[in-house]
Amino acid sequence: MRRIGDTFDAITACCGAAVGAVALALPITYAWSGESTSYRLAALYNSVPRGAAIGVIVAATVAVLVTTFTRPATAWAVALAGSFGLFVNHLAARHTTAPEVLTTQDYVDAICGGILLGALGAAALRKPLPAFGFALGSVGFFVFGDLAEFLDIQAMDPYAVMETPPTWLISVAVGLVLLSAMGNAVRRGQVHDPQERVELPITPILAALVFALPVLVGTEWLSRQYDRPGGHTIDITLAVIATVIAATVSAMLLPRRDGVAILLAAAIVPASDALGPTPRPDWMLAAVLVATGLGIVAGFKAPVPGFGLFMVGALSVFAIVVAPYDNTAMYATGSIALAFIAGYCCGCVRPCYVPSGVLAISALLLPSIVTAMPEEGDLPVRDAMAGVGTAGKTALAITIGCALALAGLYRLRPPSLPRPLAPAPTGAVADI
């Protein structure tokens, strides 16, 4: 019966993580996208909101509070509150008459999504099967990305933005989380794992602030620089340095070697953005989920974070090579490779503290400086020709910086001591 319960919790975690990720990642706006409407709706679905940074900070905070002060079963109840908040917010959006209210509802969406991700991660990352489902749902959405296109949402309709995620998908998530919360409420023997205690349990909150805010500010600053004519090499270099420093400091704040996950996330996001807008037919979602699942299993079986960063660097080089070409097959190959690499990086991380894993996974939904770069078609011809492959080169530079930070982290932090060969308690942190 316990196995059946864990399997159902894995399904719940997968669906809930996908819903929470969509709530954090959409809608989005760019400064350089032009004033097509008061909210720059022309780029609403392919830029990064301040709400995403707020959601990541909320997710880390909720994960810390739930892990520190409550029983694991309570995490499911908090996740239920977050998912229900999303449902109510989307119902209220149907009766919105003023477009100005959409911005407020977007922030409410991000906060509720952060609550859902934080509590769901705190509950799911304690057991292997639910942890796999949580990683598959969040990483799978991160790779597939353009859910608005998949759901056939009209980009120029400001009210359609409240259909990301759609109400029916939120309803499914609420129902699944409710059943999991009820099932976990009646299970016995769920206690905190004493080995999970850390010296300063709020470090994931501090790490989230240190990483999310500089990255968000740097992204918005770089996007404004593209309003000015001339080259932007110095601007990009400064943004790269700021990103690497923020990721390094955030990684050092986390206990033991949990910071490895932050460095991996900081490198994966720009590499993903460097691939550009990829045509994604319906079958692509299944391919991405399968590749992500295989990557998670591979990372669990052979955890080598350095090799994960090497693959991210190779993906950045691939983005540089394919930049001059408009080849659907190449882009589809890059997306599937990204799914496997992101899954591998997720599976190879072994957090000693649950909120560290929640922060790393939710950090995938943050912006990157590559996201702030306009597409070549949006630039003047001379700038577009000079900037071919710039996104991939920027992602490669960030990956190299994260690799150096990883080497420093390994040197300063000794490996975690192996746990005794005894049956792990029910509340033990999962390896994923």
Tens-digit pLDDT profile for residues 252-278 = 999 888 899 999 999 999 998 888 766
Per residue in 233-259, pLDDT tens?
888 999 999 999 999 999 999 988 889
Has residue 383 got a pLDDT over 50? Answer: no
Query: Residue 309: which of 246, 428, 390, 403 has the closest Cα?
Result: 403
Residue 124 region by backbone torsions, left for phi larger than 0, else alpha for psi between -120 and 50, else beta: alpha
In one-letter notation, the amino acid at residue 325 is Y
Residue 145 region by backbone torsions, left for phi larger than 0, else alpha for psi between -120 and 50, else beta: left
Per residue in 317-376, pLDDT tens?
998 888 766 667 777 788 889 999 999 999 998 888 889 999 999 998 888 888 878 765
Query: Residue 159: which of 63, 217, 92 has the closest Cα?
Result: 92
The mean per-residue pLDDT over the stretch 279-304 comes to: 84
**Chain centroid, CA 372 distance in Å:** 17
Query: Residue 398: which of 312, 319, 311 has the closest Cα?
Result: 312
Has residue 183 got a pLDDT over 80? Answer: yes
Q: What is the pLDDT of residue 195?
A: 46
**Domains of the chain, each with CATH number or no CATH:** 2-412 (1.20.1250)
In percent, the amount of the chain with pLDDT more than 90 equals: 32
Has residue 81 got a pLDDT over 60? Answer: yes
The answer to whether 263 and 358 are in contact (CB under 8 A) is no
Q: What is the pLDDT of residue 400?
A: 96
